[in-house]
């Protein structure tokens, strides 16, 4: 049963149901809006904007999941294989 047909919104503790590859962009928010999390395939730095627009830099290892709600991934990001989870 889909979220729409169940008549209720999914909670943040439920698994993601939509995965979208991320293209870093300094000027545009992610196409799906605010994420439920972010998957990183290859280690590096993540430079992201959160829901308030604050910019934060995080370190990530290989094959790491970050349960963070972000709107944008900036081009200074060196981590690769990013997937936004919604």
Calpha distance 24→75 (Å, rounded): 5
Q: What is the pTM of this model?
A: 0.85
Domain boundaries defined on the chain: 31-86
Calpha distance 58→76 (Å, rounded): 11
Averaged in consecutive runs of 10 residues, what is the pLDDT profile of the chain (86 residues)? 52 89 97 96 98 97 97 98 97
Q: Which of 57, 12, 3, 8 is nearest to 37 (CA)?
A: 12
* Residue found under tokens 């991320």: 22
Report yes or no: 56 and 48 within 8 Å, Cβ to Cβ: yes
């Amino acid at each position: 049963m889909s979220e729409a047909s169940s008549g209720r919104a999914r909670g943040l503790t439920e698994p993601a149901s939509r995965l979208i590859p991320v293209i870093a962009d300094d000027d545009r928010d992610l196409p799906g809006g605010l994420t439920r999390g972010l998957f990183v395939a290859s280690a590096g730095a993540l430079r992201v904007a959160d829901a308030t627009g604050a910019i934060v830099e995080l370190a990530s290892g290989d094959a790491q999941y970050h349960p963070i709600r972000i709107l944008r991934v900036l081009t200074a990001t060196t981590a690769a294989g990013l997937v936004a989870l919604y």
